[in-house]
Amino acid sequence: MNIGALIIGDELLSGKRQDRHFNHLQSVLAARGLELSWTIIVGDDPIQLERFLAFSLASNDLVFSFGGIGATPDDRTRQSVAHAAQVPLIRHPEAVFEIEQKYGDAAYPNRILMAELPEGSLIIPNSINRVPGFSLNNHHFMPGFPEMSWPMLMWILDTHYPHLKNTVPLNEQTIYVFKGRESDLLHAMNEVLERYPELRLSSLPHLSDTPHIELSLRGDKAQITDAMFILKTAIEQAGFSWANQLTESQ
């Protein structure tokens, strides 16, 4: 299962606020042996929101969304999810109960609007003010406030995905290529991926006092060993040197 993140808000794109969700989500997932496949930061424009939501809802990805589920006119996530999923907004009875329990008569006429969720949604409990988030399929929509959304994130993982752990390859090997060019090693990289399609290859050039390429493979240990032999052979045949550590020289 691929994991994605939608981080929503004009204030992030304008620079009025700095995003804190991306790094936090990375660390929470890493603690469970998981990692993100993609992340999208998008503003509050409903056309843009629906465009990206249509993309993600059409997949089987697990998606965590932060922001835009309030009742003010610039909060359009609930409506955009409903449009993208082609379902109506309905006043969710459990969400109504939570908001009424917290605010009583003051829930009306405005706070109760946050109980209008896409049909088929399940609520996500909010331990701070009881205004819930919501889940639709494998998409989970939370407020933009970290104080609210981060406990909700943990609740989602513990409640719906306790079995989802350790999907990231445990084995990784990195070598450093000196005085080399990626273009001269493309044939070897393509050979590796053709022969070992389940491996994840990463090639990161560094322009520094010591220019080098950081070349990594992740996946099955035996396949990594065989694939690294192919890469190292190609590196040496091209007249370049490689090392297991950046400070080494071979």
User: What does the H/E/C string look like for 88-142?
Assistant: CEEECHHHHHHHHHHHHHHHCCCHHHHHEEECCCEEECCCCCCCCEEEECCEEEE
Residues 3-30, mean pLDDT to the nearest whole number: 96
Q: What is the pLDDT of residues 145-175, one digit of tens each?
A: 999 999 999 999 999 999 999 888 779 999 9
Pick the residue with more confidence: 248 or 26?
Answer: 26
Residues 76-99, mean pLDDT to the nearest whole number: 97
Q: Specify the pLDDT at position 244.
A: 92
> Does the pLDDT at position 86 exceed 70?
yes
Instruction: Give the confidence band of 208 by pLDDT, cuts at 50, 70, 90.
Output: confident
Q: What is the pLDDT of residues 11-23, one digit of tens each?
A: 999 999 999 999 9
Q: Specify the pLDDT at position 95.
A: 98
Residues 88-113, mean pLDDT to the nearest whole number: 97
Hey, where are the domains in the chain? 3-160, 172-243
Asked if residue 70 lies in contact with residue 13, where contact means CB atoms within 8 angstroms, the answer is: no
**Nearest partner of 236 among 193, 180, 196, 182, judged by Cα:** 180
Beta strand pairing call for 38-42 and 3-8: parallel
- The chain-wide mean pLDDT, for the chain, equals 94
Q: Specify the pLDDT at position 250.
A: 42
Instruction: Give the confidence band of 248 by pLDDT, cuts at 50, 70, 90.
Output: low
The domain made up of 172-243 has a fold known as: Alpha-Beta Plaits (3.30.70)
Q: Quickly count: other Cβ atoms within 10 Å of residue 106's Cβ.
A: 12
**Nearest partner of 151 among 165, 133, 135, judged by Cα:** 133
Name the percent of the chain lying above pLDDT 90.
91
Nearest 5°: phi and psi at 221? -60, -45
**Nearest partner of 35 among 66, 64, 67, judged by Cα:** 64
The helix or strand, by DSSP H or E, that contains position 66, with its residue range, turns out to be strand 62-66
Residue at token pair 């032999």: 229
Q: What is the pLDDT of residues 126-149, one digit of tens each?
A: 999 999 999 999 999 999 999 999
CATH no. for 3-160: 3.40.980.10
DSSP3 helix / strand / coil % (the chain, rounded to 5): 40, 25, 35
154-159 CB contacts, 8 Å cutoff, 24+ apart: 154/28, 155/124, 155/125, 156/64, 156/124, 157/28, 157/32
Identity at 95, one-letter amino acid code: A
